[in-house]
């Protein structure tokens, strides 16, 4: 099932794909900082939003 992780501050799509990825992996991929608004990516559900795309 496709899943999308977005920055909750600016809406930048941090990850989109069918492979399940953990918050940890998504954060690590961007160095724990949103590349667009530079806000820290730490707290799941707060700094990162995710949703399934059926």
43 binds Zn ion (CB under 5 A): no
d(CA 52, CA 17): 10
Interacting residue with Zn ion among 13, 37, 40, 43 (CB under 5 A): 37
Q: Residue 21 or residue 39: which is nearer to Zn ion going by CB?
A: 39
50-6-33-17 Cα dihedral, nearest 10 degrees: 80
Q: Using CB under 5 A, which of the segments 1-9, 17-25, 40-48 binds Zn ion?
A: 1-9
Q: Residue 3 or residue 36: which is nearer to Zn ion going by CB?
A: 36
């Amino acid at each position: 099932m496709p899943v999308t992780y977005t920055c909750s501050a600016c809406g930048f799509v941090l990850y989109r794909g069918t492979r399940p990825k953990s918050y940890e992996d998504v954060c690590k991929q961007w160095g724990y900082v949103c590349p667009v608004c530079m806000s820290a990516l730490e707290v799941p559900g707060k700094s990162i939003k995710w949703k399934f795309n059926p």
